[in-house]
Chains A and B, each alone.
Chain A
């Protein structure tokens, strides 16, 4: 139950296990956002290669909030609708830095194994 893996008919759209949290944190660096926007931003930024399933997005948001990496408040969306906004906390920023560097190491390691010169960036 900890990390739900997106199951999709197109396997390339699957979000790698454990990376959703990191991407949510990264998205929120740009400013507070509600669930819909977060999903949209991840999808757009990934040039629609990734698809965020709501079934894992919302539990993930609640989990991050429990860990005090996000704080939340109810506000009005761009379209003047009531929505729950999430904000990155100081602790969340630190966590993002940690996860980013771990991710870099991991991709470099995988790159080396896969024979890409200097690792994949």
Chain B
């Protein structure tokens, strides 16, 4: 109603005027009828009506919502004052746009990744179960589950509503005539997994319990991605066959497009049990599965896990000779998914929060400076009866306008940057959910209002405070009146600098660990090496002979290829991330107990691999052509292996017993080679190399070519691929990467976070410098007469320079000390993101302090120099 009236108040006014005209006419006529002269009649009528302007005004006010008009007036006023100083306005708006934009971007990602509920039925009741070893070495204590353990948990405990298992898997999918082979990631899921999560297929059905057996009918569920990409979204594929690893498999269903768990790269799902051999399906000592469990209503996760954990302890007792964990730990599913990005995300959010705070403080500082120049105006208005509230509102409106403009601009900025961030952040879970929604908009609006209040309230209150009237008395010669204002600005400056120091130190630490990762010694050749992975289908290559023949003819062809200086085969190249490990015992040095059972990465390599990759031989010898086929019980071990398990003793001639899936086998150690890095964020693991020329199909059919090339390694990828096709036309190859690329891939996400925090820190440093410069030049300006007087009295210019310089550097120094103190605590939170450095790294602290001081001196020097150049005559005359 009020809006309606407000919108048509002009009409209403016109009508009122007509009405009053009518009244005058009536009254005049009446007066004339009483015998008055026409002039007198008109005069009396006007007297009776009173002041028509006043009537109009009162109706106008009645038709206008009070707050709105007041606010409208403030907005107009603020627009005018901002328009008068476009430079200030542009700087202020850009500062806020940066702060709000960056914070909004990070919030958008945090919301999608950490806060948004998982898209499953009742996701709050889903937890992940892990095995936990009491004598744990390294890691976070959450270990993958063995299939035997999972099956016992599910059949023998009842405190969870249900539990399901899944595991990552690979595979080659091709048509029924082996056409279009494609190497993809896949996963195995137990029959109840999809119903437990509350996922129903778009077409077809999910697995049955009968299919979820090691030798069940081969069936496959397609993800939406593969269904659209490879089968053009045609539902008639249901019930037809495809080849998976050359096994004819029936397609039984298609999963919905939103189902991208555990990550979007998975192309199809197999029944969980079918990813195991019958012997392995019951094992307790092979750990690779993830277990998801649904809580029963009213039963806490702790209580339910306790029952499972008790069972696990019995399993542990019953398998005392094997690596079987004692306990079971749980973790809510949503935390589980974000476990690797949680800390970096929160660190980045903290960094942008700091930056926003710095931007606010800067804006506050600028506004205080402005309010100082308007001191007299405010004082006059206060003296004339302007209420303090109205004056405060006016100033806050100004900061609100700046923040709104900054927020709008920042939102645009964040739209661009958010998508860039989500696209470039490697392995960001749920990146596909990152988009701006109502929550994000609300968050931005709240940010704008909070920033406006924060930035506007302090100057508004301080400039309309008790000393208001002193503004009238102040002449520019007395500096005392503005002393408290100056102190306020210096306090804010100190806070700003302290925050900047925290950011600088954190960025320094992250950057240092990133550099450490980049320069980590891999222990092998990096330049001019290309790697390429392939997997021989085990159906055709089902004997040792066939596999070895392929490997040997491939190596022979590669070594003859022009441009290739050397070629070797290895199961997983250095730096390429985790690879399988095996437990073993050393016959000459029996382990004291099973729990200290030895464990090492198991790789397979050909005799020339070590020389091609320049992995140094430390003792003994590496493989020769003789360790082949059944003469394969020889291994080569790494330096860490010897240090860790043989206390550095000569390993040559010692024997290890390695537990393969079925039965343990004894190997003789031939020699010791240097360490190579497995995952560059972790210490080098102990490693055993097995001869790839044993040709055992399930251990050696998956291999990576490493070729040392004379020219740019990438140009060699096609010639090498052609050699493979010449031997086996339908064999797909994948991951054709140079060693540089492999390294870049694993350090990229660390570098990403480090670079972002560094960028935020640089921006904050710039803001702090601008703030320092602004405050000091303002103070110097104010003190011009004072300084002029000093010079006139004989002060040396160098003394003036020092005076102003120290005045500016004092808040910088105090801020630095506070900043370092806060950083000492704050950097502890970074611990999990640091490699090769520690939270209290002195070089990062010293570097940040030096950089800040240098910038501070620079920012102070200009006003100080200007002050020392003041011409005393002119300064005294400006009065």
Q: Which residues of A pack against B, CB within 8 Å?
A: 1, 4, 34-36, 53-56, 58-59, 62-63, 66, 77, 79, 81-84
Contact = CB atoms under 8 A, between A and B. Distances in A.
Contacts of B18: 82, 84
A102 B58 CA distance: 27
Contacts of A59: 55, 58-59, 62
Contact of A54 (B1, B15, B23, B63): B23
Of A1, A56, A58, A82, which is in contact with the most chain B CB atoms at under 10 Å from its CB?
A58
A1 B48 contact: no
A97 to B, nearest CB: 23
B531 to A, nearest CB: 81
Contact of B22 (A55, A56, A63, A84): A84
Interface string B1-18: 100010000001001101
Given A62-B16, A62-B59, A62-B62, A81 B49 contact: no
Interface in B46-73: 48-51, 54-55, 58-59, 61-63
Contacts of B58: 1, 4, 55-56, 59
A79 B26 contact: yes
Interface string B278-307: 000000000000000000000000000000
A35 B62 CA distance: 18
Interface in B27-50: 27, 29, 48-50
- A-B pairs with lowest CB-CB distance, top 7: A36-B26, A83-B22, A59-B59, A54-B49, A36-B23, A55-B55, A84-B19
A30 B274 CA distance: 95
A55 B50 contact: yes
Given A54-B50, A54-B55, A79-B26, A35 B1 contact: no
Given A54-B49, A66-B5, A1 B29 contact: no
Given A35-B19, A54-B55, A58-B55, A81 B25 contact: yes
B54 A35 contact: no
A58 B22 contact: no
B22 A34 contact: yes
B666 interface: no
A58 B50 CA distance: 12
A120 B63 CA distance: 38
A77 B23 CA distance: 10
B27 A36 contact: yes
Nearest to A52: B48
Nearest to B1: A66
15 contacts: A1-B58, A35-B22, A36-B27, A53-B50, A54-B50, A55-B51, A55-B58, A56-B58, A62-B16, A62-B63, A77-B26, A79-B25, A81-B22, A81-B29, A83-B19
A46 B809 CA distance: 81
Interface residues of B, number: 25
B788 to A, nearest CB: 55
A12 B58 CA distance: 24
A34 B20 CA distance: 11
A58 B20 contact: yes
A84 to B, nearest CB: 5
Contacts of A55: 50-51, 54-55, 58
Given A55-B54, A55-B55, A59-B55, A84 B25 contact: no
A44 B166 CA distance: 95
Given A54-B48, A62-B12, A62-B62, A35 B23 contact: yes
Contacts of B63: 62
Interface of B: 1, 5, 12, 15-16, 18-20, 22-23, 25-27, 29, 48-51, 54-55, 58-59, 61-63
Contacts of B5: 66
Nearest to A67: B1
Given A36-B26, A79-B25, A81-B29, 13 more contacts: A4-B58, A35-B22, A36-B23, A36-B27, A54-B50, A55-B54, A58-B55, A59-B58, A62-B59, A77-B26, A81-B26, A83-B19, A84-B18
Contacts, number: 62
Nearest to A84: B19
A53 to B, nearest CB: 6
Contacts of A82: 18, 22
Contacts of A83: 19, 22, 26
A66 B3 CA distance: 12
Contacts of B27: 36
Contacts of B59: 58-59, 62
A104 to B, nearest CB: 29
A102 to B, nearest CB: 23
A44 B361 CA distance: 68
A77 B49 contact: no
A36 B21 CA distance: 11
Among B20, B23, B48, max chain A CB count under 10 A is at B23
A36 B22 contact: yes
A87 B48 CA distance: 24
A84 B30 CA distance: 18
Most chain B CB within a 10 A radius of its CB, from A1, A35, A62 = A62
A79 B33 CA distance: 12
A96 B566 CA distance: 106
A70 to B, nearest CB: 13
B18 to A, nearest CB: 7
A55 B15 CA distance: 15
A55 B26 CA distance: 17
The interface centre, meaning the residue of B5, B26, B54 with most chain A CB atoms within 10 A of its CB, is: B26
Contacts of A35: 19, 22-23
A29 to B, nearest CB: 21
Contacts of A36: 22-23, 26-27
A35 B16 CA distance: 11
Nearest to B19: A84
Question: Of B1, B27, B55, B61, which is in contact with the most chain A CB atoms at under 10 Å from its CB?
Answer: B55
B26 A58 contact: no
Contacts of B49: 54
Nearest to B49: A54
A54 B51 CA distance: 9
Give the most central of B1, B5, B18, B59: most A CB within 10 Å. Answer: B59
Nearest to A54: B49
A114 B19 CA distance: 42
A35 to B, nearest CB: 6
Contacts of B54: 55
Contacts of A62: 12, 16, 59, 62-63
A62 B55 CA distance: 12
Contacts of A77: 22, 26
Contacts of B61: 1
A59 B62 CA distance: 8
A63 B59 CA distance: 9
Contacts of B50: 53-55
Given A1-B61, A1-B62, A58 B29 contact: no
Could you say which of A1, A54, A81 has the most chain B C-beta atoms within 10 Å of its C-beta? A54
Nearest to A34: B22
Contacts of B12: 62
B69 to A, nearest CB: 12
A40 B59 CA distance: 21
A30 to B, nearest CB: 18
Contacts of A81: 22, 25-26, 29
B871 to A, nearest CB: 59
Nearest to A53: B50
B225 to A, nearest CB: 61
Nearest to A83: B22
B48 to A, nearest CB: 7
B451 to A, nearest CB: 35
Q: Which of A1, A34, A36 has the most CB of B within 10 A?
A: A36
Given A59-B55, A59-B62, A54 B26 contact: no
A115 B5 CA distance: 46
Contacts of A4: 58
Contacts of A53: 50
Contacts of A54: 20, 23, 48-50, 55
A66 B4 CA distance: 10
